Structure 1
Amino acid sequence: MQSNGTEPHPLFGGALSAVLPHSARDISELREIPDNQEVFAHRHSDQSIIVELLEHQGHVPDSQAARFHFQDVAGSNEAGGAEVRSVEPLSGAQLSLPACSSAWLLSGTQLVSKFNEEAQNTVDVYLGLFRLPQHDTDILVTFNDPVQISPLSSSSSTAEEAPSSPSAPWTPEDFRLLLHTLCLLDPGVFG
């Protein structure tokens, strides 16, 4: 599957949908992905987007929930550093997911090693969070955008090839379109 960036793409067996950026490749075609995730990678860069259905963190106030999940992602990535640049609420009027009690957009940076390498890459991380306490779920959408690849990283050859690729890298605007078009079609997905 390759997304053209204009039509909604079914997620989680059609229970949700969203407009994915152009050149998005479904990683489940290449390797096993946990049932609570949908993972897509840019065909010509190291960019990726992950959509996750997570347990609602009711003990975390809405205003702090995006930071909570960002730190959790940093821990999972074993990030050598993680910094939040901004957190802003997403207006319900701009969203296709009216069931969420609140939605947030966080941007930050993480220093991440790929495949347990010593070399660390600087990755801009954009995180969209949709809180659905009535379904005991937080939907987390993460856009990983490497901005500085260590020459010692296994990603360095990919980064060198990217500028000549026929497909432009994804932008934060592409990510915002995904967030604005995320739609719930079957609440049964939450169990």
Structure 2
Amino acid sequence: MTTIRDLFGGAIVSHIPPTFIDVSDIREIADNQEVFADVNSDESIVIEILQYVNEPSNEDAVRYHFASLAHDNDAEDFNTIQQITELTALEVPKLPSDTPKYLLVGQQQISKFDERDPSARNLVTILMALFRFPNIQTDIVITCNIPVILGATSSSRLVTQEGDVNEGYEEFRKILTSFDIKDWGLFNA
């Protein structure tokens, strides 16, 4: 089932899996983010409009965003990048063909709710897409977080199950192929 949802007031549209709820219905979310969480697992999808980072290469830029996520997740000591690949126009067909587009696959160990016990850390596979728009000084980062091993003392164990990376990747692929910027005026705000 394909579910196309309005993002950023309809300026962007994309597939979001039907089991994912809009987190802004539960808590406040920053204006530059759209956040969705799966009702059946701890999987989440975050779409962010960020300031363009000036790195020597586009691959360095996606590494920068992954490191920033590791910092935000308190996972600097528990993160690895497994691969970085350039996405093709077939994989992201609705963006201008000259848009630099990258996919990073990595893992981080993340605790929820500031749980400090090391055995509370969940091993999370991170799928991260980076779309770069130097002419408008904007990076768009789409992140899918898939917990693949729940920590022995993680509070997640009480309410959820471990995610399926293959299924998560398939949904992520649908997000990328449907991602469409309908109103470029969004970036002039």
Q: TM-score, normalised by structure 1?
A: 0.89
Could you give the per-residue CA deviations for residues 30-87 of structure 1, whole angstroms, max 9, x where no partner exists? 0000000000001111000000000011334112221111111001111141100011
Aligned partner of residue 144 in structure 1, secondary structure: strand
Bigger CA drift: 23-32 or 111-120? Answer: 111-120
Bigger CA drift: 88-97 or 107-116? Answer: 88-97
1:102 maps to which of 100, 103, 116: 100
Aligned partner of residue 155 in structure 1, secondary structure: helix
Aligned partner of residue 174 in structure 1, secondary structure: helix
Bigger CA drift: 85-94 or 136-145? Answer: 85-94
Distance 2:126 2:110 in 1: 11
Query: Displacement of 1:11 after TM fit?
Result: 0.4
State the aligned residue count.
181
Distance 2:168 2:21 in 1: 16
1:99 and 1:132 in contact (8 A); partners too: no
Distance 2:98 2:74 in 1: 30
Asked if residue 7 in structure 1 is aligned to residue 15 in structure 2, the reply is: no
Inter-CA distance 121–94: structure 2 relative to 1 (3 Å threshold) = closer
Correspondence list, 1:120-135, <5 A: 120-135=121-136
**Aligned partner of 2:152: which letter?**
P
Correspondence list, 1:17-166, <5 A: 17-79=13-75, 80-95=77-92, 96-98=94-96, 101-118=99-116, 119-160=120-161
The aligned residue for residue 166 of structure 1 is: none
2:46 and 2:142 in contact (8 A); partners too: yes
Alignment gaps of 5+ in structure 2: none
**Aligned partner of 2:44: which letter?**
S
Percent of aligned positions that are identical: 37
Bigger CA drift: 54-63 or 16-25? Answer: 54-63
1:81 and 1:110 in contact (8 A); partners too: yes
Distance 1:10 1:42 in 2: 17
1:21 and 1:170 in contact (8 A); partners too: no
Query: Displacement of 1:99 after TM fit?
Result: 6.6
**Aligned partner of 2:26: which letter?**
L
The aligned residue for residue 186 of structure 2 is: 189
Aligned partner of residue 53 in structure 2, secondary structure: coil
Instruction: Kindly report structure 1 stretches of 4+ aligned residues shifted beyond 2 Å.
Output: none
Query: Displacement of 1:94 after TM fit?
Result: 3.1
1:101 and 1:133 in contact (8 A); partners too: no
Distance 2:147 2:101 in 1: 24
Aligned partner of residue 70 in structure 1, secondary structure: helix
